């Protein structure tokens, strides 16, 4: 399938070099987070070992631990609590991915076979549960229950967002409002709490913590909009995952909602017909209509506006290399092609 | 299908009157636990409300909250922490049931359509996650993280047990040792931690807590053995769930392991053939071989021995009506027919 690049991907910032800068900046801490994460997950059951061995290959962007650590640096110092909780949020994120792969029946994730493809759905469900419960077990190593409380609350909202998404599947009249409610839950709650943890455990007062959390929330919404756009118009080889799954599962995302809201009446009928009976050609068939419309531009502009707002919240902090990287990540999250 | 009652079910103790006594004894506390549980799960998302409404109909034996409350009474007084944590362990138990129903593709649970039958697998996976994360969120209302830690640890082991069970499915050479390892994880960890919580939050010293936890663990193993026996030779109307699912899923349980270990060589070949190609007649076809063997008696005796051991651990406590009910529950858990 050949498709023109969508506007949001036309001017990618130097993602590779940004990630390299972050890796330099946080190298020691990120390595420690990784150690904490895999040490917590260790098991003496042979079959669990096998799955863990496989799962180490799903190495992602580590956005959430990076948000914890960078927020901590921008707000003060990285403490042991930050590193432990960075592992916790990443573990919860991986748990949701493992369960998403069951729901989406996806066969690859980060260029590697998913757990359900390599084993089966049952194993994926239980392995996701294993990750969830280990996340809370790890969080409980801290003496107070504050972390369990804020992370528990965020994860509750993640589940609500996902349940609403499943419930609205196939609803071709999905409103922007409901779309935003869904992605605020399923994605932004976890990035918000990651940023919150960074600020809170660096000893910041409540108003600063609230601003940093708001940064994390808006970044998360923007990130998910970009992710949804990639699922629609991205390149499978670059993203390393099965694309077009939103269309296959009849999950309406922002560009499609915009397209339906602005298309001429005959076009809208054809588009609805395509959405109602998705197959492997749906992505390329929709491309024609997307190119005629402002849907991709509108989506990109919305994501960029959220990024601007996210960065404004950072101004509560003094300028620093860490604050700059937080702003860069926000920009990168919507300009990436993977 | 008509089957003779297995020995273990021949002399049922007065389950109905025991449950009534417990209800009398704990009525006010149990009602409060129920309120705490449903208040924690409340959601403003319409689709989540619908699922919760449906889930209120899965009213089970409430074994785990009863264990928390009775252990608390036998050890001292029921505190607010006990009631909150009784709701937490029940929530985790319901979460595992909801996910089990996906794994087992079961259509009814406690006489009511399962979430996956009423909605779909995706909803069940996410609703189970919702229950798990709310459980930890609720536990985090206590100021220290002790409860999150012990419950997190137990739930980790539950998942390991279930993962091992899935991995061993279809293994007709499953050993008793591995069978006990599986059920110790998937069932006994949660009954053990329930009893632990009762004793710990009543202010008992570590050695007493360890004995009460050991009571809960042995009770859990015995309970699961009885459950596995019911799946094999129970009556569907009484249990309120789809039976024979262990055979359908090729999960070997104690009576079958014993049967295979003791059958004559030609019988063993036939039994293996039946187990390798399960269908709706497998349960009744196996009954012939079970009646010829000591497998049901052996299984019942094993469960009863564990109950005796469980009750011995209770002797660390002074005699009391609560201690008596704990002993009665242990006996009931293996003598029930539902």
A156 part of a folded domain:
yes
User: Is residue B72's pLDDT more than 80?
Assistant: yes
- Check residues A11 and B128 and name the one with the higher pLDDT: B128
Best to test chain A binding among B137, B165, B170 (most A CBs inside 10 Å): B137
Task: Report chain B's terminal Cα–Cα distance, integer Å.
Answer: 17
> Closest Cα partner for B191 from B283, B62, B336?
B62
Q: Which residues of B touch A132 (CB under 8 A)?
A: 129, 132-133
Q: Taking residues B54-73, what's their average pLDDT?
A: 89
Query: Distance between CA atoms of B248 and B105, rounded to whole angstroms?
Result: 10
Q: Which residues of B touch A127 (CB under 8 A)?
A: 159, 163
DSSP assignment letter at B142:
S
Which residues constitute the domain of residue A231?
Answer: 13-328
CATH number at residue A262: 1.10.600.10
List A residues 213-242 in contact with B (Cβ-Cβ < 8 A).
Answer: none
Judge: A163–B45 Cβ closer than 8 Å, yes or no. Answer: yes
Residues 6 or more apart whose Cβ sits within 8 Å of residue A197: A68, A71, A82, A85, A86, A89, A147, A150, A151
> Sorting pLDDT into bands at 50, 70 and 90, what band is A3?
very low
Place of tokens 């969120």: B137
A6 part of a folded domain:
no
Q: Write the pLDDT tens digit of every residue in A154-196.
A: 999 999 999 999 999 999 999 999 999 999 999 999 999 999 9
- Count how many domains chain A has: 1
User: Is residue B109's pLDDT more than 70?
Assistant: no
Residue A130 C-alpha, separation from nearest chain B C-alpha, in angstroms = 5
Kindly give the residue spans of alpha helices, DSSP state H, lying in A168-243.
Answer: 176-183, 189-200, 206-233, 236-239
B1 part of a folded domain:
no
> Sorting pLDDT into bands at 50, 70 and 90, what band is A321?
very high
Best to test chain B binding among A145, A147, A158 (most B CBs inside 10 Å): A145
pLDDT at site B305: 97
Partner residue opposite A126 with nearest CB, options B43, B141, B166: B166
Query: Distance between CA atoms of B169 and B275, rounded to whole angstroms?
Result: 11
Q: Which of A234-243, A314-323, B275-284 has the highest mean pLDDT?
A: A314-323
B213 part of a folded domain:
yes
Write the ipTM.
0.88
Q: What is the pTM of this model?
A: 0.89
Judge: B160–A121 Cβ closer than 8 Å, yes or no. Answer: no
Tokens matching residue B337? 């027919």
Query: Distance between CA atoms of B64 and A107, rounded to whole angstroms?
Result: 38
Tokens matching residue A186? 């399923």
> Sorting pLDDT into bands at 50, 70 and 90, what band is B54?
confident
Tokens matching residue A195? 């940023």
User: Is residue B11's pLDDT more than 80?
Assistant: no
Judge: B160–A128 Cβ closer than 8 Å, yes or no. Answer: no
Cα torsion A318, A322, A323, A325 to 10°: value is 160
For chain B, what is the mean pLDDT?
Answer: 90
Task: Search chain B and give the residue with CA nearest A167.
Answer: B47
Query: Distance between CA atoms of B96 and A156, rounded to whole angstroms?
Result: 16
Judge: B128–A129 Cβ closer than 8 Å, yes or no. Answer: yes
> Sorting pLDDT into bands at 50, 70 and 90, what band is B103?
low
Does residue A123 contact residue A55 with C-beta atoms inside 8 Å? Answer: no
B180 touches chain A (CB under 8 A): no
DSSP assignment letter at B13:
-
Q: Write the pLDDT tens digit of every residue in B265-294.
A: 999 999 999 999 999 899 999 999 999 999
């Amino acid at each position: 399938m050949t498709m023109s690049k969508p506007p949001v991907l036309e001017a990618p910032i130097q993602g590779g070099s940004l990630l390299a800068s972050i890796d330099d900046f946080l190298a020691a801490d990120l390595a420690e987070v990784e150690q904490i994460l895999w040490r917590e997950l260790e098991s003496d059951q042979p079959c669990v070992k096998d799955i863990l061995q496989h799962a180490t290959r799903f190495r992602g962007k580590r956005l959430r631990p990076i948000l914890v650590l960078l927020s901590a640096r921008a707000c003060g110092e990285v403490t042991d609590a930050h590193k432990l909780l960075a592992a916790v949020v990443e573990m919860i994120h991986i748990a949701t991915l493992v369960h998403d792969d069951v729901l989406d029946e996806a066969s690859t994730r980060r260029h590697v076979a998913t757990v359900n493809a390599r084993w089966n759905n049952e194993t994926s469900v239980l392995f996701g549960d294993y990750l969830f419960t280990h996340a809370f077990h790890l969080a409980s190593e801290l003496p107070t229950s504050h972390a369990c409380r804020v992370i528990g609350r965020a994860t509750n909202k993640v589940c609500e967002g996902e349940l609403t998404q499943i419930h609205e599947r196939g609803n071709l009249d999905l409103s922007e409002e409901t779309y935003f409610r869904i992605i605020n839950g399923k994605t932004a709650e976890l990035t918000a709490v990651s940023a919150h943890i960074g600020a809170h455990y660096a000893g910041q007062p409540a108003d600063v913590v609230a601003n940093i959390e708001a940064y994390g929330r808006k970044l998360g919404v923007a990130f998910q909009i970009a992710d949804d756009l990639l699922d629609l118009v991205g390149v499978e080889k670059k993203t390393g995952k099965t694309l077009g799954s939103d269309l296959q599962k009849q999950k309406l995302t922002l560009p499609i909602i915009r397209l339906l809201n602005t298309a001429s009446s005959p076009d809208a009928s054809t588009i609805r017909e395509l959405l109602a009976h998705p197959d492997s050609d749906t992505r390329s068939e929709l491309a024609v209509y997307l190119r005629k419309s402002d849907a991709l531009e509108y989506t990109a502009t919305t994501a960029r506006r959220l990024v601007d707002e996210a960065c404004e919240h950072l101004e509560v902090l003094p300028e620093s290399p860490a604050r700059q990287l937080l702003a860069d990540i926000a920009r990168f999250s919507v300009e990436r092609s993977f």
